[in-house]
């Protein structure tokens, strides 16, 4: 079989990254909610966490190939329940601010309102401040316990998306392209969430965002529990 060229590996990686990132799921709902609550810059930590795990799984896939899938299948069931538990906890944490009584927000200094989209600052009630590093670890951890990602990449590589004789350079390009594609989509989600959050300023908007985000993630947790 002819080894995969660098261009072919890059295209395969881009397609793989978008294919695993674009489908609407718990990670997408979480990133949009985090963008709305904390702003694009802070929520970008979560986007980077998800994309980093996608990149790690892509690396495992191109090194181990189809051999990874049977191993993951052995622990897929416990991983699914871990994922369900994490989703339920996250849903509660996100929705709790929306259930608390609103307090009068402090008046922001001049110019601060215009900087919210980038800085992630929020003056609305109940939304806990967080950091990009914390969101990186939280979203990355949730992506890590999602067995679908690694099984997908293992199946993709095993089905000759990369030729059996592909060079290590081609494999590295595949991984980097998959990571870049995933990151671009995750950042798009956090930015979209930040724009929604900017439109829904004030205690009512913050409450709606928290309850909607928590509710969506709770529904996704239920779907995962039912194996849907």
Q: Is residue 1, in this structure, part of any structural domain at all?
A: no
* Residue 174 or residue 26, greater confidence: 174
Question: What pLDDT score does 104 carry?
Answer: 46
Q: Is residue 126 predicted with pLDDT exceeding 70? A: no
Cα(161)–Cα(67) distance, rounded to whole angstroms? 15
Q: Is 185 contained in some domain? A: yes
Q: How do residues 177-202 score in pLDDT, each as one tens digit?
A: 999 999 999 999 999 999 988 776 66
The separation between CA 69 and the C-alpha centre of its own chain, rounded to angstroms, equals 22
Q: Which residue range forms the structural domain that includes residue 136?
A: 6-225
What tokens appear for 207 in the block? 């409450």
* Alpha-carbon distance values, 163 to 9, 58, 62, 154, 157 (Å): 9, 15, 10, 13, 8
Q: Is 21 contained in some domain? A: yes
pLDDT in tens, 48-105: 999 999 898 888 878 876 676 677 667 777 877 887 887 788 788 778 877 765 444 4
Number of structural domains (the chain) is 1
Q: What is the pLDDT of residue 185?
A: 95
Predicted confidence at residue 31, as pLDDT, reads 92
Q: Please give the C-alpha separations between residue 43 and each of 56, 66, 112, 119, in angstroms, as whole numbers.
A: 20, 34, 18, 10
The count of C-alpha atoms lying within 13 angstroms of the C-alpha of 225, restricted to the half-sphere facing its C-beta, is 11
State yes or no: pLDDT of 13 exceeds 50: yes
């Amino acid at each position: 079989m002819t080894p995969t060229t660098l261009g072919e590996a890059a295209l395969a990686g881009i397609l793989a990254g978008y294919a695993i990132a674009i489908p609407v799921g718990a990670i997408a709902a979480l990133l949009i909610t985090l963008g709305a609550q904390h702003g694009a810059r802070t929520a970008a930590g979560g986007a980077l966490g998800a994309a980093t795990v996608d990149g790690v799984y892509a690396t495992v896939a191109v090194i181990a190939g189809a051999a990874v899938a049977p191993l993951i299948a052995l622990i897929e069931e416990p991983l699914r329940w871990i994922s369900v538990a994490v989703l339920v906890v996250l849903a509660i944490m996100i929705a709790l601010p929306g259930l608390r009584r609103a307090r009068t927000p402090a008046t922001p200094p001049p110019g601060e309102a215009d900087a919210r989209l980038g800085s992630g600052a929020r003056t609305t009630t109940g939304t806990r401040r967080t950091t990009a590093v914390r969101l990186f670890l939280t979203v990355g951890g949730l992506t890590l316990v999602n067995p679908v990602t690694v099984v997908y990449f293992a199946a993709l590589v095993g089905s000759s998306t990369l030729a059996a004789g592909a060079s290590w350079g081609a494999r590295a390009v595949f991984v980097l392209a998959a990571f870049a594609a995933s990151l671009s989509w995750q950042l798009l989600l956090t930015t979209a969430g930040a724009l929604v959050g900017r439109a829904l300023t004030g205690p009512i908007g913050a409450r709606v965002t928290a309850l909607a985000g928590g509710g969506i993630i709770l529904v996704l947790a239920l779907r995962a529990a039912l194996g849907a």
